[in-house]
Every structure is written in C-alpha cells, then in structure tokens.
Amino acid sequence: MDVLILVIVFLIYFILIGYVGYIAWKRTNSSEEFMLAGRKTHPYIMALSYGATFISTSAIVGFGGVSGQFGMGILWLAFLNIFVGIFIAFVVLGKRTRAIGHNLKSLTFPEFLSRRFDSKFIQYFSGLIIFLGMPIYASVVLIGAARFMETSLSMNFQLALIILSIVVAAYVIFGGIKGVMYTEAVQGTIMLVSMAALLIVTYWLLGGIETSHLALTNLAPHFPASAQALGSTGWTTFPTFGSQFWWYLVSTIIMGVGIGVLAQPQLAVRFMTVESNKELNRAVLIGGIFIFFVVGTAYIVGALSNVYFFNELGQIAVNAVGGNIDKIIPTFISSTMPEWFVYVFLLTLLAAAMSTLSSQYLAQGTSLGRDIYGSLKGFKNNKSFNFTKIGILIAVLLAFVLSLVLPGSIVATGTALFFGICAAAFLSVYIAALFWKRANRQGAIAGIVSGTIASLFWLIFVFGKTAKGLGICKLLFGQESLILSLPWSVVDPILIAVPISFIFLVVVSLLTKPMESEHIDNCFDGVG
C-alpha cells in the first residue's frame, strides 16, 4: 500500500467535500433552505444529486455482485433505471411534483402528501414508515462502502463504519439539503468519471467487447449446479421463465428497484428544489448519462469478473470471494487495477455511499423532526429545524447499529426491500396526488395503510427470503412460509401490495365525498 498516494487522494477529496459543505452551511439560514435549498437549485447539481442519491454502493457493490453471481439479465434494471428512474420520474412526475409542492409550500415528501390530501395522519404515518424503514437501506449502503475499505485498505470493518458515519453526519447536520446536494454533485462527478474509466479498462483487460462477452458465454458449463437448479442458465442468458431465480430477478431486483424508485421520498423531494420545469428538462440528459455509465458499468463488470477470476484462479467469481457476493466488485478492482486506481475507485464508492447516506439521513431526520414530532407539537419552521438535526443524528446511529448485525450478501436484497416497501405504501397515493383530482383524504389513507400492511404481511409470512430470515412465521405457524408452493413464495411483495393499494385508493375515494373544489383548485393552480 502506497500510503503517500492514499493520503494525497483522500486529502484532496475531503478538502473538496469540506469546502462545498462549508459553502452550503453559510448559505443555509431557514427551514426551506435546509430542506429544499430555497427551491433554486441548478439543473446540473439537481441531476447529479438525484443520480448520486439513487445510485449508491448498493448498486455498484450489491447489484454488481448479483450480476457476478447470476449474469447480465440484470441489465434490464439499468434500462428501467434510465427510462423510469430518470425520464418518467423527471418529465411525468417531477414537473407536477414541483408545481404542486410549490403551491402547497411543502418541504418534505410526507408533508407534500399530507397537504395535498389535507390529512395530518398521512404526514405522521408516512414519516413513521420512512424513519423506521430507511435504516435498513442506509445500513446496507454503509456495509457496501465499508466492505470495500476492508478489502482494499485492510481496514477493520467496524472502524470503516465509524469513519463513514461521522463524516456524513457532520455535513448533513450542518448543511442540510444544500450540503447534501452540493457534495453529491461533486461525488456524482467522481462516480461518473471513475465508472466510465472502469468500463473501458475492464474491456481492454479482457481483450475487447466481443472477446470478453464470448468468453463469458463459454463459461456457462461452469455455472454452479445449485444456481442451475434455481433456473439460472448462464451469465449471458436470461433465467428460465417462471423459475425461482426468474422471479427473484424480475420481481425483486428489476421491478422492485426499477419501479420502486418512483416512490422514494429522498428522490421525490429533489423535484421541489428547482425553480421551474425548464431546469427539470435540462436535468434529464445529465441524469440519463450518469445512470448509463454508473449502473451499466457495475452490472457489466460484475458479470465479466467471472472471466478474469476463471482465467487467473480457475474459479468463478462467487467462489473466488468465498461466497459473499458483496465482495465480488471490491475484490475484482483490488486484483486487476493499479494501486492508484484502487484508491480513486475507493473514492468512487465512498462518494456513492456518502451521497446516498446523506440523503437518507436527511429524509429520516426531517421525517422524525418535522413530519412526526414537529407536526404533533405544532412547531413552526425554525423550531422544527432543530429537531430535524436531532432526528438526523438518531438516523445515523440506527444505521450504524444495523450494519453491525446484518448478514453477508445483504446489500442488494436490503435495497430492494426498502424500495418495495416505499412503492407499496406511497406509489399509488403519490400518482393519485399528481393526476387524479377525485382522489380524497379517505382514499389516500386507505391506499397507504393497505399497501403497507399487505407488504409487511407478505414479507413476514409468505415471501420465502424474508419470512425465513425473520422467523416469525415459523414461530407462529410451524413453517417458514404460509405458502410453500411456487411461485408464491418467491413473488416479491411489490407485485401484491402495490395493486392492493391502488384498489383501496380508488374504491374508497369513489365511495366517499370528493375534496372541496377550492382546495383542489389551489393544489393544481398553474399545473399543466
């Protein structure tokens, strides 16, 4: 390890992060600036902030590891990341979110839904879902970055967790969303350049695009028998239709994350930080390029790592790293790249982790400080400002504790789990809030509550992966899942809970009185 190069790289990075964090702190003087950056964010900063929040170590390390184990079928998720996560999110949902959020003067996602449907319960309940559910996602992001620090720097895993937690907490607590978005723009730029370079170098290392993909195809006979039994057919082919792995890949990974992104509170609030639709239009191209290079590279390199490990060690990737797929990308980078690039890539993962963590901590902090405690106590903006900072600190501690106890190979699953819960609770209500004026308070409450209950029930009692891990179903009924037959035990909760939420929202809204026309007119004033 070249300590001098490492120190120089990290010193430059932290000076840069510290400087932009300081600038954000100097420019943050109110709750609106702390939570929405004064609604005047530059499109480049907004797009890079959105992308860096969306794509974390869970995508690079976790989903890159999934690709290393099961193959390039996960590239369909990259397509949804761009088409749904960027184009649909920005153009279809983002413009209305910005306009309606401005009309309602809402500062958080739960507050946006609460004011649109004139319901304090929605604000409390939504804030509670975010505050209790997001630590799972934050902890797996922490794990992804700490695993790379452990592998590349021979650093103690727990020490890596502590360093990451302290640094991120500092600039989030003092700089608010300006601190988050300014630093995320820097971090997103680092991620974009580094991942583009990694893709090019990987193809060069393996003999070019055609040669490397052909070599990966030819490795199919070495695919583990256990994986083949689950439906996997090779690293360059899609799994067998209807098999266990097909359901895992399609419903949990591709649909859970690819569709679930639309209902992510920490992302939706970004739309309310820009001044006009013009900024959102300009941000689409930037965001699309960012997602293409960052996640596309992770998914491609993860699969191609099998070619390298087989050529060098005679083993496929998952065996070369001892079975923990969260170590595939870190080990590949450490084994193939020059030392200076390992340090730069470490910065990329740190940037990915810190950018996502900062948004998660801010979302949790605002949920506890403003949406739950501040709203219950009736605090005005500036007073809830202080309780938000306390909420951020609690969020940091929760994620740290969880990251110490979660098992290996958890990064991708933990991410999909949280995305699915948010989709079940919020997606139908969020879409109705933007497009269906007939949706009312009772319908929105029914949609959020039914989606949440359906998702939790399926996770605890039916979905095999989580039901087995939690053990509640086994304790109460003597079996790991209430429905052991395929495909139900491998169908992700998002495919069950989201339709249930939509049905409850529509039926209850139609069976109850519409909201007052004056309120609806105020919400949709100036919305095209």
Cis peptide before 224 (omega within 30 of 0): no
User: Across residues 121-146, what is the average pLDDT?
Assistant: 82
Which tens digits make up the pLDDT trace of 51-99?
766 676 667 877 888 888 888 888 888 888 888 888 888 888 888 888 8
Q: Which domain holds residue 160?
A: 3-523
Distance CA 15, CA 482 (A): 54
Q: Is residue 226 part of a domain?
A: yes
Number of independent structural domains in the chain: 1
Which tens digits make up the pLDDT trace of 162-171?
888 887 777 6
Q: Is residue 528 part of a domain?
A: no
pTM > 0.85: yes or no: no
Q: Reply yes or no on whether the pLDDT at 397 is more than 70.
A: yes
Which tens digits make up the pLDDT trace of 465-508?
778 777 788 888 888 888 878 788 888 888 999 999 999 999 99
Q: Reply yes or no on whether the pLDDT at 384 is more than 60.
A: no
Question: Cβ(260)–Cβ(417) under 8 Å?
Answer: no
Alpha helices in 27-119 (DSSP H): 31-36, 43-54, 57, 64-70, 75-82, 95-104, 109-116
In the prediction, which pLDDT does 1 show?
56
Distance CA 282, CA 90 (A): 10
CATH number reported for the structural domain that contains residue 136 in this entry: 1.20.1730.10
Pick from 157-161, 302-306, 428-432, 499-503: least confident: 157-161
Local confidence band at 373 (pLDDT 50, 70, 90 cut-offs): low
In the prediction, which pLDDT does 36 show?
47
Q: Is residue 48 part of a domain?
A: yes
Local confidence band at 446 (pLDDT 50, 70, 90 cut-offs): very high
In the prediction, which pLDDT does 178 show?
58
User: Across residues 230-253, what is the average pLDDT?
Assistant: 84
In the prediction, which pLDDT does 38 show?
47
User: Across residues 246-252, what is the average pLDDT?
Assistant: 84
Which tens digits make up the pLDDT trace of 180-203?
666 767 777 888 888 888 899 999
User: Across residues 367-379, what is the average pLDDT?
Assistant: 66
Greatest mean pLDDT among 30-44, 92-106, 352-366, 443-457: 443-457
Q: Reply yes or no on whether the pLDDT at 8 is more than 90.
A: no
User: Across residues 448-456, what is the average pLDDT?
Assistant: 94
Question: Cβ(61)–Cβ(295) under 8 Å?
Answer: no
In angstroms, what is the C-alpha Rg of the chain?
22
Question: Cβ(390)–Cβ(369) under 8 Å?
Answer: yes
Local confidence band at 433 (pLDDT 50, 70, 90 cut-offs): very high
Q: Is residue 42 part of a domain?
A: yes
Q: Reply yes or no on whether the pLDDT at 16 is more than 70.
A: yes
Give me the DSSP letters along 448-506. HHHHHHHHHHHHHHT-HHHHHHH-HHHHHHSSS-S--STTGGGS-THHHHHHHHHHHHH
pLDDT above 90: percentage of residues in the chain: 19
Distance CA 257, CA 420 (A): 7
| Percent helix / strand / coil, the chain, rounded to 5 | 80, 0, 20
Would you say the C-alpha torsion 271, 273, 278, 280 has a positive or negative sign? negative
In the prediction, which pLDDT does 454 show?
95
Q: Reply yes or no on whether the pLDDT at 175 is more than 60.
A: no
Pick from 7-11, 169-173, 488-492, 515-519: least confident: 169-173
Pick from 264-278, 349-363, 372-386: least confident: 372-386
- What is the crossing angle of helices 43-54 and 157-205, to 10°? 100
Contacting residues for 477 by C-beta, under 8 A, at least 6 apart: 461
Distance CA 315, CA 292 (A): 29
In the prediction, which pLDDT does 172 show?
67
Q: Reply yes or no on whether the pLDDT at 408 is more than 70.
A: no
Question: Cβ(415)–Cβ(257) under 8 Å?
Answer: yes
Average confidence score pLDDT of the chain: 80
Distance CA 304, CA 295 (A): 14
User: Across residues 219-245, what is the average pLDDT?
Assistant: 82
| CA distances in angstroms from 125 to 131, 364, 504, listed in the order given | 10, 13, 17
Token pair for 38: 């004064």
| CA distances in angstroms from 57 to 357, 477, 505, listed in the order given | 10, 37, 35
Please give the residue that has the higher pLDDT: either 392 or 320.
Answer: 320
